[in-house]
């Protein structure tokens, strides 16, 4: 079968690899119909977290079950399914408590595993024609409809992006009537906007510097804030000023960092400043507010200088403490959300597929990744369709 393989820094190829096989009674084989490209894949493609050459990419797969092991009872061949990014057993102490991204059984010596991701277990990625799914009864979420129908783009985002956007609003404890600021209008930021609106937020602001991403944020109902032309904190405070009950409440109730360690320094856009978004959110969030950190912070960044190279970042803890701000962060616990979000899509309330801006086949996927890395227009969310010509 064909699969997308990382051969080295910014070197991506489509290669012929062996078809996956049933290796354990709980396994299933899925024929992939869509597999979304993700910003966290770029950390590996850029060499930021440096996996060994040969990593098979892709952790957002959607498809149809073709084969199941003898121990699988809930899913069967022919069913349409999505496979959440994080592989989990469903029965260990962490899974039983709802912390599936910290499963204790799937990646010996570490908490948590994922498809196609450096350091997160030996699970080849889903940018391929077929995918082996372990613990299939737990990991696969069944879906209605047929491949290629009107749900295809919505459902592929249940593997990671929509779930992570929703998780960001859980981390920030977004409640009905809240005001929310989302920094980053990539896919996760945009779907955090969508999730905040679904949860009843009164006002949502979305900060970025890429025009087509800001346009999508507005389509999801957010007030777009262009960080390239003004201090976004001052801009949001100015927009909120007339409606604030008190000058001390001229910020927002909740803030979400959907950028992570590659945040740009607004004083010099050619440089990165991993603490830029956190610093801005501390200035913006109201006293006793809540912050959700959904952007990735890596334990090591091979491209960084100083403490960030070893995963140590400067955080304004004193300001957070003095304002009584509650902080949540960490990987998405897929088990908690995927079925809920599937039902929101099927009911017509949620439309995450609006973020998809391009579909590609194997022939164009490598170039699409590089265009995505350059933040080129039309590459907010790209989906690989293995059967595309």
Q: Distance between CA atoms of 253 and 236, rounded to whole angstroms?
A: 12
| Residues 346-379 pLDDT 10s | 999 999 999 999 999 999 999 999 999 888 888 9
Specify the fold of 161-329. Rossmann fold (3.40.50)
Q: Distance between CA atoms of 280 and 275, rounded to whole angstroms?
A: 9
Residue 389 has pLDDT above 60, yes or no: no
Residue ranges matching CATH 3.90.180.10 in the chain: 2-160+333-384
| Residues 12-27 pLDDT 10s | 999 999 999 999 999 9
Residue 190: the pLDDT is 98
Q: Distance between CA atoms of 346 and 335, rounded to whole angstroms?
A: 18
| Residues 60-90 pLDDT 10s | 999 999 999 999 999 999 999 999 999 999 9
Residue 10: the pLDDT is 85
| Closest by Cα among 56, 54, 24, 57 to 41 | 57
Beta bridge partners of 247: none
| N residues, the chain | 389
Residue 9: the pLDDT is 84
Residue 49: the pLDDT is 77
Q: Distance between CA atoms of 89 and 69, rounded to whole angstroms?
A: 15
Q: Distance between CA atoms of 351 and 333, rounded to whole angstroms?
A: 21
Report residue 161: phi and psi, to 5°: -60, -50
| Residues 171-185 pLDDT 10s | 999 999 999 999 999
The predicted model gives 304-312 an average pLDDT of: 66
| Residues 319-335 pLDDT 10s | 999 999 999 998 999 98
Q: Distance between CA atoms of 21 and 365, rounded to whole angstroms?
A: 25
Both structure tokens of 45: 């493609």
pLDDT tier for residue 344 given thresholds of 50, 70 and 90: very high
Residue ranges matching CATH 3.40.50.720 in the chain: 161-329
Residue 20: the pLDDT is 97
pTM of the model: 0.94
For domain 2-160+333-384, give the CATH superfamily.
Answer: Medium-chain alcohol dehydrogenases, catalytic domain (3.90.180.10)
Residue 69: the pLDDT is 98
| Residues 109-167 pLDDT 10s | 899 999 999 888 999 999 999 999 999 999 999 999 999 999 999 999 999 999 999 99
Residue 300: the pLDDT is 65
Answer whether 373's CB lies under 8 Å from 42's CB. Answer: yes
Report residue 12: phi and psi, to 5°: -120, 140
pLDDT tier for residue 43 given thresholds of 50, 70 and 90: confident
Residue 51 has pLDDT above 80, yes or no: no
Beta bridge partners of 81: 63, 142
Q: Distance between CA atoms of 168 and 295, rounded to whole angstroms?
A: 9
Report the chain's mean pLDDT, rounded to a whole number: 92
Residue 284: the pLDDT is 96
């Amino acid at each position: 079968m064909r699969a997308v393989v990382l051969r080295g820094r910014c070197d991506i190829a489509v290669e012929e690899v062996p078809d996956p096989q049933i290796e354990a009674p709980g396994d299933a084989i899925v024929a992939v119909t869509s597999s979304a490209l993700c910003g966290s894949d770029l950390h590996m493609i850029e060499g930021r977290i440096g996996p060994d050459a040969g990593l098979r990419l892709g952790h957002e797969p959607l498809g149809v079950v073709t084969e199941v092991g003898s121990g699988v009872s809930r899913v069967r061949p022919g069913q349409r399914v999505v496979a959440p990014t994080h592989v989990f057993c469903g029965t260990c102490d962490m899974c039983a408590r709802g912390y599936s991204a910290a499963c204790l059984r799937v990646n010996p010596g570490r908490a948590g595993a994922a498809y196609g991701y450096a350091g997160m277990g030996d699970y080849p990625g889903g940018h391929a024609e077929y995918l082996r799914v372990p613990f299939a009864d737990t990991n696969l979420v069944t879906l209605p409809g047929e491949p290629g129908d009107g749900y295809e783009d919505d459902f592929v985002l249940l593997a990671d992006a929509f779930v992570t956007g929703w998780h960001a609003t859980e981390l920030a404890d977004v409640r009905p009537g809240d005001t929310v600021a989302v920094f980053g209008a990539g896919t996760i930021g945009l779907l955090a906007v969508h999730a905040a609106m679904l949860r009843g937020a009164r006002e949502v602001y979305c900060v970025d510097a890429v025009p087509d991403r800001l346009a999508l944020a507005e389509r999801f109902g957010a007030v777009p804030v262009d960080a390239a032309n003004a201090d976004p904190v001052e801009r949001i405070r100015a927009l909120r000023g007339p409606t604030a009950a008190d000058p001390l409440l001229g910020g927002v109730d909740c803030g979400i960092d959907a950028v992570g360690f590659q945040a740009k320094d607004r004083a010099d856009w050619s440089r990165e400043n991993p603490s830029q978004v956190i610093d801005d959110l501390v200035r913006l969030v109201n006293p006793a507010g809540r912050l959700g950190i959904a952007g990735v912070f890596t334990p090591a960044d091979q491209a960084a200088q100083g403490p960030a190279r070893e995963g140590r970042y400067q955080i304004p803890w004193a300001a957070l403490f003095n304002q009584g701000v509650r902080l949540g962060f960490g990987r998405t616990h897929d088990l908690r959300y995927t079925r809920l979000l599937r039902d929101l899509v099927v009911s017509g309330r949620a439309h995450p597929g609006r973020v998809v801006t391009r579909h590609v086949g194997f022939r164009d996927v490598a170039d699409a990744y590089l265009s995505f890395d350059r933040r080129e227009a039309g590459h907010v969310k790209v989906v690989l369709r293995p059967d595309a010509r």
